Chain A
């Protein structure tokens, strides 16, 4: 039972344009959400997070939006750069030490 879903396995965008990665969840108890980025042959690295008391969090080129009523969050990367090409995982936690991850979206940014 996947409680966190990333329905797009891949996304391709042109350098300089916006990348939008989406994530849906089913558990209304989730109260903390994170995005991780993963390059080949490396472990995931933390990118940005958001608490359920907020609807937006920004860090440089990366912004995460949370829509609690729709149980949906998205990661916006503006402008996209070739170095952003990686697999992005959405993760959520209900404060129970059990972090749930989505299946990941492979982003390719073309020069």
Chain B
């Protein structure tokens, strides 16, 4: 089954304790992205990756890191989480990113990770 998986689905942690949220897709997609969803703000892009070893900042990258060592995996790293990073996080992938010369492709989203930082 084609899917995007995220782990963990729920996480409660404390300020400053490093954490990683994993994301994996089995569709051989080149483009992957992380979003956070907050009430009244919708989905805001944190980081995206056009392909292996190619990552770039989205709208709200502060306090986050990502890596793309393999095509299927795109982990989100919070080196020193703070309470303002409490949110619902979604990973997404698409065959290609949008852009000149590419076909636009809809993104497939994972089920979400609800993170609470105390």
State the A residues within 8 Å of B (CB).
2, 4, 6, 9, 32, 34, 36, 41-46, 49, 51, 89, 91, 93, 95-104
B44 contacts partner chain A, Cβ-Cβ < 8 Å: yes
Q: B92-118 toward A: CB 8 Å interface, digit per residue (1/0)?
A: 100001111000101111111000000
Across-interface contacts of A102 in B (CB, < 8 A): 42
Q: In the complex, what's the smallest C-beta–C-beta distance from B5 to chain A, in angstroms? A: 10
Bound: A99/B48 CA distance, A: 10
Q: CB distance A43 to B112 under 8 Å?
A: yes
User: Could you list 23 examples of A-B contacts with CB < 8 Å?
Assistant: A2-B42, A9-B40, A41-B112, A42-B112, A43-B4, A43-B92, A43-B109, A43-B111, A44-B43, A44-B109, A45-B108, A46-B107, A46-B108, A93-B98, A93-B104, A95-B98, A95-B99, A97-B48, A98-B45, A99-B98, A103-B40, A103-B42, A104-B42
Bound: A100/B45 CA distance, A: 7
Q: CB distance A98 to B58 under 8 Å?
A: yes
Q: CB distance B109 to A97 under 8 Å?
A: no
A102, closest chain B residue (CB): B42
Interface residues on B, range: 20 to 34
Q: In the complex, what's the smallest C-beta–C-beta distance from A104 to chain B, in angstroms? A: 6
Partner of B90, one of A6, A43, A95, A96: A43
Bound: A104/B37 CA distance, A: 10
* Interface residues in B5-56 (C-beta closer than 8 Å to A): 31, 33, 35, 40-45, 48, 50, 56
User: Counting chain B CB atoms within 10 Å of each CB, which of A32, A41, A99 scores highest?
Assistant: A99
B70 contacts partner chain A, Cβ-Cβ < 8 Å: no
B114, closest chain A residue (CB): A41
B57, closest chain A residue (CB): A98
B1 contacts partner chain A, Cβ-Cβ < 8 Å: no
A33, closest chain B residue (CB): B104
B3, closest chain A residue (CB): A43
Bound: A51/B103 CA distance, A: 11
